[in-house]
Structure 1
Amino acid sequence: MNSVVFSPSAYSTVSGVNGPLVILDNVKFPRYAEIVHLTLPDGTKRSGQVLEVIGSKAVVQVFEGTSGIDAKKTACEFTGDILRTPVSEDMLGRVFNGSGKPIDRGPTVLAEDYLDIMGTTPPRPPRLQNALSWTDVLTRELHLHTKMK
C-alpha cells in the first residue's frame, strides 16, 4: 500500500490556544499524529503532535506547553512525519522518561532502528467454537464459583 507524504508546510493560522492545545485553521492535508514545529515570536522553538483533524482544521498538542504562543505571530510547520522513538537491544533493563531519554545515569543508547510510537493494536483473543468470547466463559466460571461458596 502506497502512502502519500506531503512536503513540510508552514502556516501562521493559529486560531486559538486552550491549555496545551493549539488550533490551526486553513491547513492543507493535515494528518493525525503528524509532528508540528512551532516558532514563537521571540524565536523559541516548540514541537507538538496533531491530535485531531476536522476538515482543514488541526488540533495540536504542544509538548513544551503553550505559554508565550501568540496566535497572530506564531509560525507552525507540519513536518509530514510522525513521532518515532529510537530502539535498541541496549535499552533492555534501562529506565527512560516519557520522551524516551535515559534517566538512569547509564550510557547513551545508540539506535538500531526508529519505531512509530503509536504502534499497533494487540490481537483480540480468539473466539471459542460456539462463538462465546473468553470473557463470557470467565464471567460464567466466576458466577458458578461464587454460587458454590
Structure 2
Amino acid sequence: MTLDQAWRAINYRVLLVVACSFGPGKALTNTGLAKFAGVALQSMTSLGNFGFLFMIVLFSSLLTSIVSNSTAVITLYAILRTMKVPGVSMEAMMCCMMLGGSTDYITPIGYQTNLMVYKRGGYAFADYTKVGLGLTILECAVYAGMANIVL
C-alpha cells in the first residue's frame, strides 16, 4: 500500500464522530448529570452484589450507545472511583465498567467498528437495536456474574 492509498483509506466520518463524542462526555460532568448518575447507581446497591454489578455493566453499555466507549468509561470512572459498596470490590466495579463500556451492540454510534460496517453493510439503525438489546442483557448478566464470583 502506498502512502497515498493509506491516506485515502482513512474514514474521516468515523474519526469525526469519535472526536465529537468527547464534548457530550464533558457535558455530562459539567451539567451535573454524572453526579445524578452516581446517586442513581448508589441506590442500586439495594439490588445486591450481582444486581449492582449488572447495573454498572448496563449503564456503561447504554452510555456507550450515545457517546464513545472511551468517553463513557472516563465519565463512569469518575463516578465509581469514590463509591464504597460493602461486599463489592473496586476491581469488580472497574471490570464491569470497562467491559460494559467496550461492548455497545445497541447502536452504531458507540464503537468504531459498528460505524465502519454501518453504511457498507447496508444496516439500518434499528438493526443494531433489534439484535443488540438481547445481546446486551446477556452480556450484563455474564459479566456481572463473573465479576461477582471471581473478583
TM-score normalised to structure 2 length: 0.24
Q: Which has the larger radius of gyration?
A: 1
Structure (1/2) with the larger strand percentage = 1
TM-score normalised to structure 1 length: 0.24
Q: Which has the higher contact order (CA 8 A, sep 6+)?
A: 2
Structure (1/2) with the larger helix percentage = 2
